[in-house]
Amino acid sequence: MPDTQALDRILQERQADRLPSVAAAVVHKGEQVWSNAVGTADYDEDREATPDTQYRVGSVTKTFTATAIMQLRDAGELDLDDRLEQHLDGIANGTPTIRRLLCHLSGLQREAGEMFVTGESPTEDELIASMSEVEFVLGPAQAHHYSNLAFALLGQVVARKSGRPYTSYVDERIIQPLGLTRTSWAPRAPKAQGYLVDEYARTVWKEPETDLAGTAAAGQLWSTVEDLGRWATFLARGADGVLDAKTNEEMWFPQLMYYPHEWVLGWGLGLMLFNHEGTIYGGHGGAMAGHLAGVYVDRKTQTGAAALTNSGTRGDMDLLAVTLAARARELWPEPIEPWRREDEPPADVRAILGRWWSEGSEFVFWWEGAALQAKVVGTLPGRGETTFEREADGWRASAGRERGERLRVDGDRLIWSGYAFTRAQEPFKA
């Protein structure tokens, strides 16, 4: 078992920077491998935080909402490119597509009115009625613009298409099947009191526990780091009976880059995708009065972390969760698989193997892992490699370059995605 003192120290250093408490957990390949908590969950009760302490997780709720939408898509209840007005009858300004709502490309204003100014959250009926007055601050798909309103509306889609309240649907179809027993819509003891830390006096104020009412789908949930560790595992690979692995993979596919000139943050279907030192961590952060949250996971190694604090400021839980996950990848490195010889490939495969040319470029085909593989010689990483699956009359690219395109043998040539491949370099046919 790796020495996890480095993880403990990261947590201690973060709490020492003026946070009442911080809790965190790390998961690796479906197992919780570390958890800890430092600091005070409630000063009035003089109660210390533990990994079982509930905190508000804010916009981490959006990943549950996105999962619910994908479940309904898989069930044939909707299409991601449907307009909102196709599923919420009579709604004004309902032209954004579900896909654009999921990845914050709708152009809708950030909030449902001024609920965080007045302290009054709209009911579901008030939310729908308020759409006649909303503003599109950007054109559709013009650029990323984060919108809590968008996810509140997606929650209404879940309710309408499932025929039950949004929270009931998520409880029955997601939270309960995954065994997230400490994840709930209202706080359950032991829970952390939310605070605002005074920047100069080093004192704290209590923060209120706002009920988001009709906008619950944007940020109502409470949870623990141990439950969020389980959620990170789910986000990495899906789960039987909850979300198919292929649908989970679709949620990870980038829909946009937050900074087009610097690819450090992308957005999938409800997932934030951070590029940290060359590794992509998917998940979401969260913020509500007196609480900050973050849960992120590396899908390739299924190593992830959750981090929670009962401070509404100073505590970047996104960065803490990613930092813990990155350190955990060092503590639990991927095993180095020894090379082993392959079984002799079928005769028709043997005839394909080796070097081919197309469009003036050199390709190599080889047999590995009982699968046909190919790559472009001398190209940038990520562009050239392909895996093929056999079909009745040939092959189809199942991953990598030209995914989905057919490959067939045509005499002494290969035909792949509409191009000819020959054993020697040749010009295009005139």
Q: Where are the alpha helices (DSSP H) in 200-275?
A: 225-237, 245-252
Q: 402: part of which helix (H) or strand (E)?
A: none
pLDDT (tens digit per residue) in 145-178: 999 999 999 999 999 999 999 999 999 999 999 9
Confirm if 60 and 234 have CB atoms less than 8 A apart.
no
Q: Letter for the amino acid at 45?
A: E
Phi-psi region of 390 (alpha: psi -120 to 50; beta: other; left: phi over 0): beta
CATH 3.40.710.10 region(s) of the chain?
12-331
- Nearest CA to 72 out of 97, 98, 50 is that of 98
* Rg of the chain (C-alpha set): 25
Q: What is the dihedral of CA 232, 331, 23, 151, to 10 degrees?
A: -20
- Nearest CA to 87 out of 31, 28, 17, 162 is that of 162
Q: Distances from the Cα of 3 to the Cαs of 327, 332, 334, 344, in angstroms?
A: 12, 10, 17, 43
Q: Which residues does residue 407 pair with via DSSP β-bridges, in sequence order?
A: 395, 416
pLDDT for residue 314: 82
pLDDT for residue 279: 97
Report the distance separating Cα 374 and Cα 419, nearest Å: 15
- Looking at CATH, the fold of the domain delimited by 12-331 is given as Beta-lactamase (3.40.710)
pLDDT for residue 430: 57
Confirm if 146 and 110 have CB atoms less than 8 A apart.
yes
Mean pLDDT of 303-328: 96
Confirm if 194 and 310 have CB atoms less than 8 A apart.
yes
pLDDT for residue 408: 96
pTM of the model: 0.95
Confirm if 39 and 20 have CB atoms less than 8 A apart.
yes
Mean pLDDT of 375-399: 89
132: pLDDT strictly greater than 80: yes
pLDDT (tens digit per residue) in 205-252: 999 999 999 999 999 999 999 999 999 999 999 999 999 999 999 999
pLDDT (tens digit per residue) in 73-96: 999 999 999 999 999 999 999 999
Token pair 């000063």: residue: 43
Report the distance separating Cα 184 and Cα 228, nearest Å: 12
- Nearest CA to 317 out of 17, 3, 5 is that of 17
pLDDT for residue 2: 87
DSSP calls for 25-73? EEEETTEEEEEEEEEEEETTTTEE--TT-BEE-GGGHHHHHHHHHHHHH
pLDDT for residue 315: 84
Mean pLDDT of 283-307: 98
Report the distance separating Cα 201 and Cα 214, nearest Å: 37
pLDDT (tens digit per residue) in 344-358: 999 999 999 999 999
* 157 CB-side CA count, 13 A: 33
| 339, two tokens | 């090379």
pLDDT for residue 330: 96
195: pLDDT strictly greater than 80: yes
379: pLDDT strictly greater than 90: no
Report the distance separating Cα 57 and Cα 176, nearest Å: 18
Confirm if 254 and 268 have CB atoms less than 8 A apart.
yes
Classified as helix, coil or strand, 389 is: strand
Report the distance separating Cα 388 and Cα 411, nearest Å: 19
Mean pLDDT of 301-329: 96
Q: What is the dihedral of CA 303, 178, 40, 330, to 10 degrees?
A: -10
Give the percent of the chain with pLDDT over 90: 93
The two counts, helices (H) then strands (E), for the chain are: 11, 21
Report the distance separating Cα 157 and Cα 416, nearest Å: 41
Packing angle of the helix pair 5-16, 317-331 (nearest 10 deg)? 160
Mean pLDDT in the chain? 96
| 77, two tokens | 């209840």
| 366, two tokens | 């080889």
Report the distance separating Cα 386 and Cα 348, nearest Å: 19
